[in-house]
Amino acid sequence: MPLSIARKDEELYRKAEKMVVNYLEKYQKLYNQRPSEEILIMVAFQIAVIVSKQELKEDTVPLAEKIQSLDDELKALLTKE
């Protein structure tokens, strides 16, 4: 499918294409009796799950940083005594 994309995004689109093709091949082998539309829906759902997991990880990063900061402060306070 031809797309017009910015040059700076080309690598990102190529990686995305590889991911889609890999899942498509995997699901076509597993569910070869299913219609193509269903397989494409499975692929889209799998990629959506991956994106959701990544978003959850990103949401916890600030919290982890804050916990580390508080831990460092506690250690500093405890070593002063």
Whole-number pLDDT of residue 65:
82
63 falls within a domain = yes
Render pLDDT for 6-15 as a digit per residue (tens, 0 to 9): 999 999 999 9
Task: Provide the number of structural domains found in the chain.
Answer: 1
Residues 6 or more apart whose CB falls under 8 angstroms from that of 25 comprise none
Find the domain containing 52 and state its range. 12-80
Render pLDDT for 18-70 as a digit per residue (tens, 0 to 9): 999 999 999 999 999 999 999 999 999 999 999 988 887 777 777 778 888 88
Whole-number pLDDT of residue 80:
78
56 falls within a domain = yes
Whole-number pLDDT of residue 81:
60
User: 75 pLDDT band (50/70/90 cuts)?
Assistant: confident
67 falls within a domain = yes
Q: pTM of the prediction?
A: 0.65
At which residue do the structure tokens 């508080």 appear? 70
66 falls within a domain = yes
